[in-house]
Amino acid sequence: MWTDCFTVDTVPPSIFNCPPDISKTTELGTFGVPVFWSVPFATDYSSTVASNSSHRPGDIFRVGSTGVFYQFIDDSLNKAVCSFNVIVVEGKTQKHYNVGISNRLLVQ
């Protein structure tokens, strides 16, 4: 007598290289700042892993906190998520130098 036997995969993919929160400063009045990080990846002991993400390295981030998410899904639809925040704060404005009428250097 033969019995069919199969294993059900209930283990989510293992994530590697998930970045910590990233903080950047942008100049006053600037639209945003490009932010770069190493892309996380995942492996699974029983199948291939598909991934999608909310953002990519080099994307422009505005002032404030933005969540970045990477989702990994194996062939059995087990999911794992890597998430971190990109925090952009507005810094000081750059100093502009102008030469006045009397040729003295004025700092504004």
Q: Residue 42 carries which side chain, given as an amino acid letter?
A: A
The H-or-E segment that residue 85 falls in is: strand 79-90
Helices vs. strands in the chain: H and E counts, helices first? 0, 10
Determine, yes or no, domain membership for 7: no
Determine, yes or no, domain membership for 5: no
The H-or-E segment that residue 89 falls in is: strand 79-90
**Amino acid 106: pLDDT:** 45
- With contact defined as beta carbons under 8 Å apart, do 16 and 72 qualify? no
> pLDDT tens digit string along 18-52?
999 999 999 988 889 999 999 999 999 888 999 99
SS3 call for 75:
coil
Determine, yes or no, domain membership for 6: no
Determine, yes or no, domain membership for 4: no
Per cent of the chain over pLDDT 70 is 81
Determine, yes or no, domain membership for 8: no
**Amino acid 60: pLDDT:** 97
Residue 90 is part of a domain; what is its CATH number?
2.60.40
Determine, yes or no, domain membership for 59: yes
Q: Above 60 in pLDDT, residue 12?
A: yes
| Domain region containing 40 | 14-107
- The total number of structural domains that make up the chain: 1
DSSP 76: T
Residue range 86-105: mean pLDDT, rounded:
64
- With contact defined as beta carbons under 8 Å apart, do 11 and 79 qualify? no
- Cα 46-47-49 angle, rounded to 5 deg: 130
**Amino acid 31: pLDDT:** 84
Determine, yes or no, domain membership for 23: yes
